[in-house]
Structure 1
Amino acid sequence: MKRRFHKMHGLGNDFVIFDARETPLALDAARARAIADRRTGIGCDQLILIEPSAIADMKMRIFNADGGEVEACGNASRCVALLAGGGARIETSGGVIGAAALGDGATIDMGEPRFGWDEIPLAYAMDSSAMPVGWEELRDPAAVNVGNPHIIFFVEDADAVDLERLGPLIEHDPLFPQRVNVNVASVEDGALRLRVWERGVGLTRACGTGACATAVAAIRRQLVRGPVEVHLPGGTLSIDWEPGSRIRMTGPATHVFTGEIELEALA
C-alpha cells in the first residue's frame, strides 16, 4: 500500500512527514531508519508522524535518523504548523506546544524550560547553569531541557570547535542517561552563532530546540537579552524568553514536495 508523505525542511533540517490521523501507520526503529536512509529510502534528518490527540489538535511523534524516538523538535514543529495552515496545539512526548503559521514560517510556543538536574536529566545532582565538567577545551557548560535534553558550551569561536569529533563523545557520556544534544555557541554583537551535534542525527544545519536551549542559557548568564537572533549554518531563528516565562521561537519552514512511497518495499 502506498502512503503519501511531505518532504519539508526548517533551515535545512529536513523531514519526511506522514499524516496518520485518518489512516494509522505503524512505525518502529527499523522502518524509520529505512525511510531516513538517503541512499535507499527517502532521506531525512527526522521522520515525523502526525496522529490524533486526545488533549490537543494533533499529536506529533519524532523519529531521528537512527530510528530512536525523541521528545521534541522545534524545526519540525514549524513545518507541522505550516501544514496545519493556522493556529494549532500540538501534543509531543515533551509536552503540548502552541503553533501559529506565519506566511512561509511559524511561531512556536515551546513551553517553559526546565533546569533541574533530574529534569534534564543528568546522572547525578549538580548546578545545571554552570556545570563543573568538561571535555577537552569545552568546559563549564549549561544544561537545559526544552522538551529534550541539551548541553550548551559558550566559546570564542563556535566554528573552530571540532564538533564532529567531540559531539558523539559528549552525547554518549554516562553523565547523560538519555544521551544529550550538544551545542557550541559564540556571542556576536548581541546575537548567537550556534552549531549543534544532534542526538541520534549528528551535525545538523539547524536545530530549533538547540536554538531555544542556547538562547535560554545565554540569557540566564546575561550574555544576551531576548529576543535574540540565533544564527545557524542553515539560517536564523528568533528566540524570545524571559525568566519565568515560556519560550517563543519564530522562523521559516519550507514545503519541498509531496510524494508517495510503498513502505513494504523498504523492509
Structure 2
Amino acid sequence: MGKTAPGQLRFSKMHGAGNDFVVLDLREGHLPPDAALAARLADRHRGVGCDQILTIEPPRDEGAVASYRIWNADGSSSQQCGNGARCVAAWLVRDGAAQGDRFGIDSPAGRHAVQRLANGDYAVAMGRPVLEPGRIPLQGFAHVRDEYVISLQGESLHFGAVSMGNPHVVLEVGLVDAAPVERIGPLLQQHASFPQSVNVGFAQVVDAGHARLRVFERGVGETLACGSGACAAAVVLMRRGRLRRDAIISLPGGDLRIQWPDDAAEIVMSGPAAFVFDGEWMG
C-alpha cells in the first residue's frame, strides 16, 4: 500500500461471507498493530470496524507469494482464519503479487495452497485437522472421541473438538437460530478444559449435504462467518456420518463449501472474498 505520512495508515476493508477485516500491508517494514491500535481499528463506532485485522508481510519461505498474521478485535493474535485467508489471496491478486490462478500463502498455522475459481471465489487448502485432545488443546481427555462431555454450570455439555490451527468445539443443535450462543460461548471459552480458550460452533444438520452454523469466536464474539469454524464443524459432522464429505456450511453471512475426501486428507474450503473500500486511518 506504499508509505504514508506520520499518523496515517493505509488499509483495505474486506469481508468473506460477512466476516470482515482490516487489511494492512506491512511488506515494507511497518510494525504490526499493538493491542491498543488493533482495538481502535476494530471499533465499529470510532474506528474502521472489523472482526479481525490481517497484516500482509513478506513470505517466510520460498514458494509463497506472501505471509500474513491475524489480530483479533481485542488485540490478541490468532493462528488461523479461513475467511481471512481468502481475503488475503484476493488482496494479493489485486496487488499483482500473486500471478495466475494457483499460488501459496503462509499463515501462522502454515502454508496454504490457493486456487482462484472461475466464479471469482477462492479455494484454500486448510491443512489436516488435529483431533488429539492434547494438541487442540483440550484438557481432561487422553484419547480422541467423537463426542466429549464436560460439566458446565451443573449441566452436561456434549460436543466435538478439533483444531484447525486454532481450537474449536462443535455443539450439534436442533435449531441453530435458537442456540444459546451468547450464554454458552463465553462460558466454554473460560472453562478450565480449554487452556488457550476456544472457538465455539453451534451446528444444525439440514440434510446430508448441508448444515447451518453460528460461531462465537475467541477475542471477537459471534461473527457472521468463521472459515476455520466451518471446517471444524464439517470435520465433526462428517466423522459422525452426519454430512457427506463434500458439503455446504451456511453461516449468517453466507455459504462455504467444505471438501474433506477422507480422514487423512487436507480440508479444502471454498467461498467468496470481497473488497469494501480502501482508506487511510488518521489515528
Shift of 1:207: 0.4
| C-alpha contact (below 8 Å) 2:85/2:124 kept by paired residues | yes
* Matching residue's letter, 2:109: G
The alignment yields a C-alpha RMSD, in angstroms, of 1.5
Correspondence for 1:93 among 101, 108, 116? 108
| C-alpha contact (below 8 Å) 1:138/1:153 kept by paired residues | no
| C-alpha contact (below 8 Å) 1:104/1:254 kept by paired residues | no
Deviations, residues 143-162 of structure 1 (Å, cap 9, x unaligned) = 01011100001121121112
After superposing the two structures, state which structure 1 stretch, 17-26 or 123-132, moved more: 123-132
Q: Which residue of 2 aligns with 1:183?
A: 201
Correspondence for 1:133 among 150, 168, 173? 150
Distance 1:26 1:238, change over 3 A: closer
Correspondence for 1:34 among 36, 40, 45? 40
Q: Which residue of 2 aligns with 1:251?
A: 271
| C-alpha contact (below 8 Å) 2:138/2:194 kept by paired residues | yes
Local SS of the residue matching 1:133: strand
Deviations, residues 73-130 of structure 1 (Å, cap 9, x unaligned) = 0001111111122433221221221222234320000010000111100123343421
Q: Which residue of 1 aligns with 2:214?
A: 195
Deviations, residues 167-204 of structure 1 (Å, cap 9, x unaligned) = 10111111101000000111112211111111111111
Determine if the alignment matches structure 1 residue 7 to structure 2 residue 25. Answer: no
TM-score by length of 1: 0.94
Q: Which residue of 1 aligns with 2:90?
A: 82
Structure 2 Cα separation of the partners of residues 64 and 87 of structure 1: 28
Q: Which residue of 2 aligns with 1:169?
A: 187
Structure 2 Cα separation of the partners of residues 243 and 164 of structure 1: 32
Local SS of the residue matching 1:178: coil
Structure 2 Cα separation of the partners of residues 163 and 194 of structure 1: 11
| C-alpha contact (below 8 Å) 1:106/1:250 kept by paired residues | yes
Local SS of the residue matching 1:111: coil
| C-alpha contact (below 8 Å) 2:22/2:48 kept by paired residues | yes
Determine if the alignment matches structure 1 residue 239 to structure 2 residue 272. Answer: no
Equivalent pairs: percent with the same residue?
44
Structure 2 Cα separation of the partners of residues 97 and 228 of structure 1: 20
Local SS of the residue matching 2:123: strand
Distance 1:6 1:128, change over 3 A: farther
Distance 1:100 1:84, change over 3 A: farther
| C-alpha contact (below 8 Å) 1:105/1:254 kept by paired residues | no
Q: Which runs of 4+ in 1 moved over 4 A?
A: none
Structure 1 Cα separation of the partners of residues 77 and 26 of structure 2: 16
| C-alpha contact (below 8 Å) 2:149/2:156 kept by paired residues | no
Q: Which residue of 2 aligns with 1:145?
A: 163
Structure 2 Cα separation of the partners of residues 54 and 189 of structure 1: 41
Structure 1 Cα separation of the partners of residues 68 and 113 of structure 2: 12
Determine if the alignment matches structure 1 residue 72 to structure 2 residue 92. Answer: no
Deviations, residues 21-62 of structure 1 (Å, cap 9, x unaligned) = 124233211111111111221110000001112223211100
Shift of 1:138: 7.0
Distance 1:101 1:22, change over 3 A: farther
TM-score by length of 2: 0.89
Structure 1 Cα separation of the partners of residues 27 and 145 of structure 2: 38
Structure 2: tracts of 5 or more residues without a match: 1-5, 94-100
Q: Which residue of 2 aligns with 1:154?
A: 172
Local SS of the residue matching 2:216: strand
Structure 2 Cα separation of the partners of residues 107 and 64 of structure 1: 23
Number of residue pairs aligned between Structure 1 and Structure 2: 263
* Matching residue's letter, 2:243: V
Local SS of the residue matching 1:53: coil
